[in-house]
Amino acid sequence: MSRRTVVIVAAILVIAGLVLGATVDMGFLALFGLGALGPSILRAFGILRDLDEFESRAAQRAGFHAFLAGGVFLCAVATIKSWGEANLDHEQISASAALAVMLVTYLSSRLVSFWGAREAAFRVLLVFGSFWLAFALLSHPGLEGLIEALVTVPFFALAFAAKRWPRIAGVLLLVSAGAAFWLFKLYRVFAGNQGSLMVLIVFVVPLVAMGIALLSDRGNPHAD
């Protein structure tokens, strides 16, 4: 099975799992797990051999980064929530948030390792822009949706700027991440707001990751 086929099948499973899990039954998140983790598990057992040596190294590096990010997140949350106590039986940590941290880290690291910072940022920003554009148009049909769709313009502009002016785009991405933190009132995460935590992880963290990657850009290691 080719890598492209694996990516397509995995993406379909991930999307189906998220949509059905949010609208029908959380049990459908099993599909999300199959798409997000299944290919890596099959590769680890040697059943799936769709990656070349360079891609395998990028995947291994991304997995190590995801492990570190997940470990740091869990340790931080466990420490903060259990502060002042001496009991390990009352920890309350969101499994979905921990999974999101690890997957966002894995995907960001793997994209940068494989494509290079410029191409990775370009692709991530196009995906983000397209997602928010569809969300604005579908949730608010008509003129209101078009006005809200203007928020996506910076995503597309920075996507193309990342290829030509990576340092400038990197700075603007970090500024945008900071602005989004205050615009969406994500500081509520410090009060235990679960929704703010998820938005912070899946929206702001990738922007910060791509911004830092662009600022330390050394070119594309695996150009087409």
How confident is the model over 51-74, as pLDDT tens digits?
888 888 888 899 999 999 988 988
* Percent above pLDDT 70 for the chain: 86
Pick from 77-81, 85-89, 132-136, 217-221 the range whose average pLDDT is largest: 77-81
pLDDT band at 223 (very low <50, low <70, confident <90, very high): very low
pLDDT band at 224 (very low <50, low <70, confident <90, very high): very low
Alpha helices for 24-152 (secondary structure H): 29-44, 53-81, 95-115, 117-139, 143-149
3-state helix, strand, coil in the chain (%, to 5): 80, 0, 20
- List, as own/partner pairs, every contact residues 64-70 make where C-beta atoms lie below 8 angstroms and the sequence separation is at least 24, other chains included: 65/105, 65/106, 65/109, 66/102, 66/103, 66/105, 66/106, 66/109, 67/102, 68/105, 69/101, 69/102, 69/105, 70/98, 70/101, 70/102, 70/105
Is 145 inside a domain boundary? Answer: yes
Residue 98 and residue 4 share a domain? no
Residue 85 and residue 5 share a domain? no
* Domain span including residue 96: 58-215
Residue 36 and residue 97 share a domain? no
Which amino acid belongs to residue 16?
A: A
| Prediction pTM value | 0.75
Residue 46 and residue 63 share a domain? no
pLDDT of residue 88: 60
User: What are the distances in angstroms from CA 158 to CA 132, 163, 165, 174?
Assistant: 15, 9, 9, 11
Is 90 inside a domain boundary? Answer: yes
Measured CA to CA, the distance from residue 200 to residue 10 in angstroms comes to 24
Residue 95 and residue 21 share a domain? no
pLDDT of residue 121: 92
Measured CA to CA, the distance from residue 148 to residue 137 in angstroms comes to 8
Residue 68 and residue 13 share a domain? no
Residue 35 and residue 88 share a domain? no
Tens of pLDDT, residue by residue over 172-222, are 999 988 988 888 888 888 877 888 888 888 788 888 989 999 998 866 555
Which amino acid belongs to residue 153?
A: V
